[in-house]
Structure 1
Amino acid sequence: MRAIATLEELHALSGQEVAVSDWITITQEQVDRFADATGDHQWIHVDVERARKELPFGGTIAHGFLTLGLLPQILSQSISLGEVRMLVNYGLNRVRFPAPLPVGNRVRGHVVLQSVEDIAGGAQLIWEISIEREGGDKPVCVAEFIVRRY
């Protein structure tokens, strides 16, 4: 885990890759729970037998938005921001899903601090997070994630 104690340290790291997360295994149970939570029960995500027969990946694939939902976990397991009263997910600038994520695969995030902007009471951080699949040739998700640090 990368420890970044002060706002000054954050400013100095702007434009750099600051961390790589641990590997996270994507399970069918996670995908099924996500489908139940969102109402997205498309067969490519939840019908294991049909996906095994009809998809080129040998099974189901994770929802893109499930993959996107890993951003807070990736940040929290790879970066410690020192004395912070609270962090707020402020939004996203861009999100792309360049490759599918077959269930059972492992992913990890490469975290780049794109920019730091001082705001009243804290700072706005824009993180570019590229989520790679182990053994994959393209990322499964690339997102600009805006977080406010107070």
Structure 2
Amino acid sequence: MIIINNFNEYKSLEGQMLGDSAWHTISQDQINRFADATLDHQWIHTDQEKAEREGPFHSTIAHGYLTVSLIPYLWKQIADVRNVKMEINYGIENLKFGEAVPVNSDVKLQATVKSVTDLRGTVKAVVEARLLIKDHVKPAYTGDVIFLYHFKD
């Protein structure tokens, strides 16, 4: 776990791969709860029998946006950004889905700090995020996550 206390410490990490989060298993229960929350009950995600019988992956798969929604949780396992008044998930650029995530897959986030900029007191950090799937060659996705921070000092 990397601890970041201020702009200068964050800036010193530019270009560095910070590491990986712990593995997280995406269960059918999590997929179903995400489907309920987003009203996206497409059978490829929620109908296990049909997905096994007719689906291209022979199982249900996680929603792509479910996997993206894990970024804040997994990021906090890699970096502990302290001394912050406010943190904002500002956006994601260049997001590309590379591979479906079958139910019960283990995934982890790999993060590289691309850039850190001081915008008159607001710190903008661009972090390349790759969601890795255990025993798969291709990542589930890659994208540049943008965080905004207002440090206390």
The 5-angstrom pairing of residues 1-150 of structure 1 reads 1-150=1-150
Alpha-carbon RMSD across the aligned residues, in angstroms, is 1.1
The CA deviation at 1:92 is 1.3
Q: TM-score, normalised by structure 1?
A: 0.95
The CA deviation at 1:74 is 1.2
The CA deviation at 1:87 is 0.6
DSSP-derived class of the 1:13 partner: coil
The CA deviation at 1:15 is 1.3
In structure 1, what residue type is equivalent to 2:92?
L
Matches of 2:17 and 2:93 in 1, distance apart? 18
- The percentage of counterpart residues that share the same residue type is 38
Q: TM-score, normalised by structure 2?
A: 0.93
Encode CA deviations 1:48-70: one digit per residue, 9 max, x unaligned.
00111122433100000001101
Matches of 1:14 and 1:134 in 2, distance apart? 27
The CA deviation at 1:9 is 1.6
Matches of 2:22 and 2:2 in 1, distance apart? 12
Matches of 1:121 and 1:91 in 2, distance apart? 19
Gapped runs of 5+ residues in structure 2? none
